[in-house]
Structure 1
Amino acid sequence: MEALAQVLSCPVCLQLFTPPVLVLSCAHNFCKKCLEKILIRQNCSHVNGQFCCPMCRKIIHLRGRGITGLSRNILVESILEKFKYELENLHIKEQNQLSQICEEHGENMNLVCLTDDKPICAICKLFGDHEPHMVAKISEVYRERKKRLIKDLDWVFQQSEHAEQAKKEIEKMIGELTSTIADVKVMIEAVGTSLLKGIRWRMTELKEKLGKDYSSKVEKLQLLANELQVPRHLYHQMKTLLEQHSNLVHFLQEDKILRCKLEKILEENTLQQDPKDYHISVGQYFKDLIRGIHITDYISSNSDEMIANSGEVSETSRSECPAFSFSNEMPNESFCQKVLDFFQKSND
């Protein structure tokens, strides 16, 4: 390989040829960039100029086309491409072999320490730190771990599919939350604007609470959605290891890392999420808005003078407002819906 590398090296830069490779009439080859530097040093700037080959000192005539008129050595470029490919494969094989060598003793790691769960060599077991530990042949452990990985891979795939479906449900819930918050705002505005300044502060308070409630729930759902991506990512990592591991040692080292991630997913998989925790109740906000308020003080026929002074309710709405009255009682859902329908009708 070294002799071939010398043949495929440029005599100017002493490195492997950088295509395009130009061949002179004297049969010497040079990188195009190196040849351009030679022309500059020899003050050859004209398309009809001439220069000396740095190898044999033969005079080379450009013949009116400059350096572009020189021929490319396609054969050398083709051999160079194959040489680089083989050189890269050789480097990969060397790295692969080195990864299977014990760094401490320089021997092949053909055993697995079951206590520390790591590949070791025979000297590590006989005279090293792993002497009192249980060991097994690396080939046997490899077959066993590979079978287990295939089994776990199927389980992780199923989990990733379930997670993907759950993610879609969460996105749907987020959409429902977004729609619900719009409905809640409409309700708050429809009811709140029909009342007077006495409950303005409560409207503001509820809107702030609603915003925080929405942000908190969406943030939790988004975090949950992100967590559900973990099985799919682990699935791809496990599948890649199964299909593309370079050697036994590499497989066992990566398998140990992936098993830790799998155990973490198994622990977190027991947690159940209650969908009710991610909903916003329009009725509850309505109840909070009107709880403890004597509505007759604001919209009944006995409060015409107060309403007239406020200037915020039209004559038509004032005459159509029913006289609802309660103080400490919690209004039921039917009452809330009736009042909500009334104010929506009045607003229309």
Structure 2
Amino acid sequence: MEALAQVLSCPVCLEFFTPPVLVLSCSHNFCRKCLEKILIRQNCSHVNGQFSCPMCRKIIHLRGRGIIGLPRNILVENILEKFKYELGNLQTKEQDQLSQICEEHGESMNLVCLTDDKPICAICKLFGDHEPHTVAKLSEVYAERKERFVKDLDWVCKQSECAEQARKEIEETINELTYTIADVKVMIEAVGASLLKGIQWRIAELKAKLCNDYSTKVEELQLAAKELQFPKHLYHQMKTLLEQHSNSVHFLREDKILRTKMEKLLHDSSLHQCIKDYHISIEEYFKDLINGIHISNYISSNADEILASSNDPPDPFRPECPAFSFSGGIPNICFCQKVLDFFQKSNKVTQDPTQNVSHNDANDAASRLDLSLEAESIPRQATV
């Protein structure tokens, strides 16, 4: 192998040939990059130039095509590729054999110390640190552990499927939250636009609370979704070990590590985390918005005259922003239910989660709701 490796090495860089391999008329082979360096050192920059072979000093003529005109040695490249493949297999076998040899005594490890749960050789049991420990044959422990490993793999597979289903439900919940937050913003803007300046602070407070509530729930759900990928990763690791372990020693070493992860998964309760509480209630925000508000204190008969005389009215009080029509002092239960039904219906409509809620959207929603409430008579001084 060493002699063949020398034949397949470039005489310039003394490493394996780096394709493409170029052959000169004197039959000597070089890496193309090494040959380019040789041309630079010999000041051969013209396509019709000439240079001397660094091995035999024979003059090589480029004949008008430069280094591109030199032929490639496809045979050497194919042999080199096959040699590297075989060399890799040989090194893998050598490492496989070394992994089954006791580093301390140089003997083959054919026993398993049940006390320390590790492969050992016979000398380790007779004269080494494992003399007082309980041992068993490596082949027997390997067969038993492998059978148990297959059963554990099936269990982890089922856990992975359950976790994947739970993760999908979390993603659906996140999407629902994304759609709901847009609806809640529309509701807050539509209802808030009908109130006076005294409740602007409440609108801002509710928006901040809503965003914080949304961010907190999404962060917790995304963290739970990330944790639910652990069984899937563990399943692939166990399956890979079962199918691709090189020897029993390698299997037992990796089995110990994976069993630790599986025990963690067994006691992990986050896979069954309840997500039914991760929702945002439009009704709750609506009631917080209008709680304790007496409309008669904010809307008077001369409200239009006051707004018209204002030089720079705030956005919620601009004339083009429609307000709800109230016949009584405060919205009653019938009105609240009407508004809630209106926005609940909008939840069923698929919306773009990246859509920005503008004042125009709020105004349109308020206008539609206002028209739907015009024919309804609301008793005065009703309470929510």
TM-score, length basis structure 2 = 0.75
> In the alignment, does 2:204 pair up with 1:204?
yes
Cα distance between partner residues in 2 of 1:25 and 1:78: 20
Question: Which amino acid in structure 1 is aligned with residue 156 of structure 2?
Answer: V
Cα offsets for 1:309-343 (capped at 9, x unmatched): 466497xx7894121459xxxx86x5621355796
In structure 2, what is the equivalent of residue 189 of structure 1?
A: 189
Whether the aligned pair in 2 keeps the contact of 1:181 and 1:214 (CA below 8 Å) is: yes
Question: Which amino acid in structure 2 is aligned with residue 237 of structure 1?
Answer: Q
In structure 2, what is the equivalent of residue 265 of structure 1?
A: 265
In structure 2, what is the equivalent of residue 4 of structure 1?
A: 4
In structure 2, what is the equivalent of residue 133 of structure 1?
A: 133
- Tell me how far 1:4 sits from its aligned partner: 2.9
Structure having greater relative contact order (Cα 8 Å, sep ≥ 6): 2
In structure 2, what is the equivalent of residue 62 of structure 1?
A: 61
Question: Which amino acid in structure 2 is aligned with residue 97 of structure 1?
Answer: Q
The residue correspondences of 1:88-99 to structure 2 (distance < 5 A) are: 88-99=88-99
Whether the aligned pair in 2 keeps the contact of 1:10 and 1:17 (CA below 8 Å) is: yes
Computed over aligned residues only, the root mean square deviation of the Cα atoms, in angstroms, reads 3.3
The residue correspondences of 1:1-348 to structure 2 (distance < 5 A) are: 1-23=1-23, 27-34=27-34, 59=58, 62=61, 64=63, 72-269=72-269, 272-299=272-299, 303-305=300-302, 309=306, 312=317, 320-325=325-330, 336-338=336-338, 345-346=369-370
Question: Which amino acid in structure 2 is aligned with residue 96 of structure 1?
Answer: D
Cα distance between partner residues in 2 of 1:341 and 1:17: 76
Cα distance between partner residues in 2 of 1:187 and 1:153: 50
Cα offsets for 1:95-137 (capped at 9, x unmatched): 1111222222222222222222222222222222222222222
3-state SS in 2 of match to 1:136? strand
Question: Which amino acid in structure 2 is aligned with residue 87 of structure 1?
Answer: L
Cα distance between partner residues in 2 of 1:307 and 1:196: 12
104 and 337 in structure 1: CA distance in 2 versus 1, 3 angstrom threshold? same
Cα offsets for 1:164-218 (capped at 9, x unmatched): 2222211111111112112222222222221212222111111111110011011
3-state SS in 1 of match to 2:136? strand
Cα distance between partner residues in 2 of 1:340 and 1:79: 78
Which range is displaced more, 79-88 or 334-343? 334-343
3-state SS in 2 of match to 1:94? helix
- Tell me how far 1:20 sits from its aligned partner: 4.4
Cα distance between partner residues in 2 of 1:318 and 1:85: 79
Cα distance between partner residues in 1 of 2:253 and 2:305: 81
TM-score, length basis structure 1 = 0.82
- Tell me how far 1:60 sits from its aligned partner: 5.1
For structure 1, the 5+ residue unaligned runs are: none
Cα distance between partner residues in 1 of 2:4 and 2:77: 13
Whether the aligned pair in 2 keeps the contact of 1:163 and 1:229 (CA below 8 Å) is: yes
53 and 281 in structure 1: CA distance in 2 versus 1, 3 angstrom threshold? closer
Cα distance between partner residues in 1 of 2:306 and 2:39: 98
3-state SS in 1 of match to 2:132? coil
Cα distance between partner residues in 2 of 1:20 and 1:183: 63
217 and 37 in structure 1: CA distance in 2 versus 1, 3 angstrom threshold? closer
Cα distance between partner residues in 2 of 1:189 and 1:19: 68
For structure 2, the 5+ residue unaligned runs are: 309-316, 343-365, 373-384
Cα distance between partner residues in 1 of 2:223 and 2:12: 60
Whether the aligned pair in 1 keeps the contact of 2:8 and 2:80 (CA below 8 Å) is: yes
Question: Which amino acid in structure 1 is aligned with residue 294 of structure 2?
Answer: H
8 and 283 in structure 1: CA distance in 2 versus 1, 3 angstrom threshold? closer
- Tell me how far 1:285 sits from its aligned partner: 1.1
3-state SS in 2 of match to 1:304? coil
Cα offsets for 1:17-59 (capped at 9, x unmatched): 44444555555555555556666666777777776666566x4
Question: Which amino acid in structure 2 is aligned with residue 238 of structure 1?
Answer: M
4 and 295 in structure 1: CA distance in 2 versus 1, 3 angstrom threshold? same
